[in-house]
Amino acid sequence: FEINIASEKPVVHIVEPLNNSVLSAYNVVLQGAGTDYEDGELPDSLLVWHSDIDGELGKGKSLTVEKLSLGKHMISLTGSDSDMKEQSVYVNVSIMNYNPNSYFPLFENSTWEYSHPEPEFIVTNNYNVRETWKIKKLTITVDDENRRISTVLYDRFIGSSVTHTKYVITDYLETGDDNVYVTTTTEEMSEWQEAKDEDHPYSILRVNTTYSPRYVILNNVSNMQLNTTYENTVKVETEWYYVYYNAVSSYFHES
- Indicate the pairing of strand 147-158 with strand 161-176: antiparallel
Q: How far is CA 112 from the centre of its chain?
A: 7
Do 52 and 92 form a contact (C-beta atoms < 8 A)? no
The Cα 188–Cα 83 span in angstroms is 65
pTM reported for the whole predicted model: 0.62
Distance CA 116, CA 107 (A): 23
From its phi and psi, is residue 48 left (phi > 0), alpha (psi between -120 and 50) or beta? beta
Rounded Cα distance, 250 and 91, in Å: 55
Query: How far is CA 221 from each of CA 96, 177, 181, rounded to the nearest angstrom?
Result: 7, 9, 11
For the chain, give every domain's residue range.
Answer: 11-96, 110-254
Please tell me whether residue 225 adopts helix, strand or coil conformation.
Answer: helix
Spatial contact of 22 and 96, defined as CB atoms under 8 Å apart: yes
Closest CA to 178 of 24, 53, 72, 25: 72
Nearest-CA neighbor of 51 among 29, 69, 31, 27? Answer: 69
- H/E stretch holding 79 reads strand 71-80
pLDDT by residue for the chain (255 residues), tens only, comes to: 455 555 688 899 999 999 988 788 888 999 999 988 887 889 999 999 999 999 999 999 999 999 999 889 999 999 988 888 889 999 999 887 665 555 555 667 778 887 777 788 899 989 999 999 999 999 988 888 889 999 999 999 998 899 999 999 999 998 877 788 899 999 999 999 887 777 889 999 999 999 999 998 877 766 666 666 788 899 999 999 999 999 999 999 999
3-state secondary structure of 224: helix
* pLDDT attached to residue 186: 98
CATH class of residue range 11-96: mainly beta
Phi, psi of 35 (to 5 degrees): -135, 155
